Every structure is written in structure tokens, then in C-alpha cells.
Amino acid sequence: GAVVSQHPSWVICKSGTSVKIECRSLDFQATTMFWYRQFPKQSLMLMATSNEGSKATYEQGVEKDKFLINHASLTLSTLTVTSAHPEDSSFYICSARVPRGYSPLHFGNGTRLTVT
């Protein structure tokens, strides 16, 4: 089945620094990838849709200058959390769909970010 790889699985950084999270589709080309965030005991929240070769589409309330998304190839999207603050500590999960019909979303294993 389709595999989405996400790296790193966890990261601890200091307040004010930037963190980059990578998301790769391993056995299919993904023109679109989706970035979610999940706080403890809360539901998944879609942050943005990453489009290969064009600008990402951000959901309402998500700061595009803080959460930089780059989708430079058909198999790689990156999310950079800039000037991280403790309130950015969360579980970030990327996902992608095989571009065929109404195929399901496949998730990476997630990145747990802790900002100290």
C-alpha cells in the first residue's frame, strides 16, 4: 500500500529557533500533501494543503509566515515552523493521497514538536 514517510519523529527545540519537518511519499507521486496539527486529547486540525510547484493553501487562522510550506517535488513536502514558541508544541502529521479516483489519505507517523 501507499507509504508516507515523515521525519523527524520527534524534536525538541528552543524558543525562537526554526524547525523543519519533511514528508515524503515513498511509492507514489503526490501533487498534493496535507499538513495537520493535533494538540493532546483534541481532534486533527488541517493546517494547510501543500501543492507541488505552487503556493500552499492555508486554513483560516494558520499563519503562513510562521508555518512555511515548500513542495518542491512530487514526493517531498516540508513544513518549517519559524521562530517557534512553546504554544507551537504539538503533534504535526503530514498526509497524502494516491492521485487516483477517491483514494484514501495516508498519514506519516507524525512529528512531536516540543518547544522549550
Of 11 and 82, the one with the shorter C-beta distance to another protein is: 11
Nearest CA to 111 among 14, 19, 34? Answer: 19
Nearest CA to 89 among 66, 116, 63, 65? Answer: 116
CA 114 to CA 116: how far, in whole Å? 6
* Stretch touching another protein by CB under 8 A, among 22-30, 43-51, 68-76, 79-87: 43-51
* Stretch touching another protein by CB under 8 A, among 13-21, 23-31, 76-84, 89-97: 89-97
Binding site for another protein (CB under 8 A): 34, 43-44, 46, 49, 91, 93, 97, 102, 104-110, 112
